[in-house]
Copies of this chain bind each other. A is one copy, B any other.
Amino acid sequence: MNGAELLRDALLLHGVDVCFANPGTSEMHFVAALDAAPRMRCVLGLQENIVTGAADGFARMADRPAVTLLHLGPGLANGLANLHNARRARVPVINVVGDHASTHLAYDAPLTSDIESLARPMSQFVRRVSGAGDVRRAVAEVYRAAVSPPGVATLILPADSAWGEAEALSAPAAAATPVMRQADAGGVRRIAETLRDCRRSGQRPALMLSGSALRATATAIADRIAQAFDARLVTETLGGRMERGQGRVAVGKIPYAIFSALEFLKDIDVLVLVGATPPVGFFAYPGAPHRLTRGDCEHLVLCAPGEDAVGALGALAAELDVPAGVRPRLQAARGAGAPPGGTLTAEAVSQVVAQLLPQGAIICDEAVTAGGFLYLHTAASAAHDYLQNTGGAIGNGIPMAVGAAIACADRKVICVQADGSGMYTIQGLWTQARERLDVLTIVLANRAYAILQWEMRELGVRELGENARRMLNLDDPTLDFVLLAQGMGVEAARAKTVEDFLRLMRFALARRGPFLIEAVV
């Protein structure tokens, strides 16, 4: 048995059985090893940002890591943007990055680069395998680093560690299941005391939820606390995964625009962080503050990111003695406002999606400027998961949908994708076709980097000149997403009116398999 075969077996032992890959020559021994193990599902991405974005989407929905297979420094580099998003989503991802044989590095062959330096900014753990005999230990370490607390962990696999002789796993006992870290009990008591003080003094508290605090079990507890102590429930602008819709609790999202965000949070005197970090501006602007809460707002940590939010919220509810009669306010079905007919708009797209959303759907939201509408209108849709671009590195919608669909083969994935960011990883449509994934992609084609045009207006620029138009418009030539999808084996059609879009949505939702609608808005 060689190191590559041992690596494969050790990953399978840890339950890692999906490999998103774009291999190269230095990874051929690992490819051969995977080839001999049908238990590992290998999924090819045509560019590494598809690979890593799919691993992110998989982890968000499966709550366990997939492994990526990447080709040296440049292959890793191509996938870093979506690893950045995965890092910000705090989900487990294991990267295996091939490298030259260790004896070859000194010769500075063309593909040589400093892989560690590239990996570190997006990884909470980076480790180079030092020989076939080191593979077993390396896998145990990288797995532990990826799951507890969840994050991106990167293993660099030199070719000679892959082809060198290794000993087979002798005792294939199951690997230990990761245990979620518990929050500090002292914090619970202090926060309970502060919430009681707020009730006495009339100060306004809020719970800011993130990570596992956005699952339905957690939001239900949080809402009982919120009712009993007149607290608001808020969450970050772009979140990793939220269980919401009918039968679940609604959580308010901090708006993207800095002054709207400040306005949204200005009444909060005490902010209890539940798996969240203090809210800050997505960008800085001259004269605007960095933190989004008021300067005198008190921040308290109930549990840190990666810690057990359900446990911490439960402990807080118990400490606060929230009466059993206080039931979570679960979202009821309500007639979604049907959009007026005629010309299609981003808001009308959101209204139709909200109205037709199937039970258990997974929404991948990279709608960018239209994201606000989508979140708003789907609040009372059938129960669903809502996944967003957590790190702001654009191009994660289509790949994330790939990974979510592989994690949840029986659920419909609906990717609402802005056109500019969609072009970053358009190649992911091919993987959707290859793997027959049940993904509906809705491209919002406004033919511009609309959010940047908005930012330019905020800067005081009234009218774009030639150079700004050349950098911020996408209208010359017009991108034809129907042809692009068809070119990658995905059926597609275009909607220019609300009636078109309704008809196509009904058609797409009645079938399985990938489909794309270009919604011209």
Contacts and interface: CB of A to CB of B under 8 A. Distances in A.
B434 A427 contact: no
B121 A117 contact: yes
Contacts of A75: 81, 393
A78 B50 CA distance: 12
Interface residues of A, number: 105
Contact of A77 (B81, B163, B280, B466): B81
A46 interface: yes
Contacts of A73: 80, 84, 121
Given A120-B114, A452-B25, A468-B31, A391 B74 contact: yes
A437 interface: no
Nearest to A160: B284
A106 B107 CA distance: 39
Nearest to A488: B479
Given A46-B424, A486-B480, A486-B483, A467 B40 contact: yes
A511 interface: no
Contact of A459 (B32, B88, B277): B32
Interface string A389-404: 0111101000000000
Interface in A416-438: 420, 423-424, 426-427, 430, 433-434
A297 interface: no
Contacts of A25: 282-283, 451-452, 455
Contacts of A122: 77, 113
Interface string A258-291: 0000000000000000000110111110100011
A307 to B, nearest CB: 18
A468 B290 contact: no
B81 A110 contact: no
A73 B88 CA distance: 13
B74 A80 contact: yes
A487 B21 CA distance: 26
Given A73-B84, A77-B81, A31 B456 contact: yes
A465 interface: yes
Nearest to A119: B117
Interface stretch (A309-317, A470-478, A496-504): A470-478
A345 interface: no
Interface stretch (A97-105, A320-328, A351-359): A97-105
Contact of A44 (B29, B282, B395, B470): B470
Most buried by B among A47, A80, A391: A47
A74 B88 CA distance: 12
Interface in A38-86: 38, 40, 42-44, 46-47, 49, 69, 73-75, 77-78, 80-81, 84
Nearest to A39: B467
Contact of A477 (B35, B69, B434, B478): B434
B277 A108 contact: yes
Contacts of A36: 465
A28 B107 contact: no
Interface of A: 21-26, 28-29, 31-32, 34-38, 40, 42-44, 46-47, 49, 69, 73-75, 77-78, 80-81, 84, 88, 100-101, 103-104, 106-111, 113-115, 117-118, 120-122, 159-160, 163, 238, 277-278, 280-284, 286, 290-291, 390-393, 395, 420, 423-424, 426-427, 430, 433-434, 451-452, 455-456, 459, 461, 464-468, 470-472, 474, 476-484, 486-489
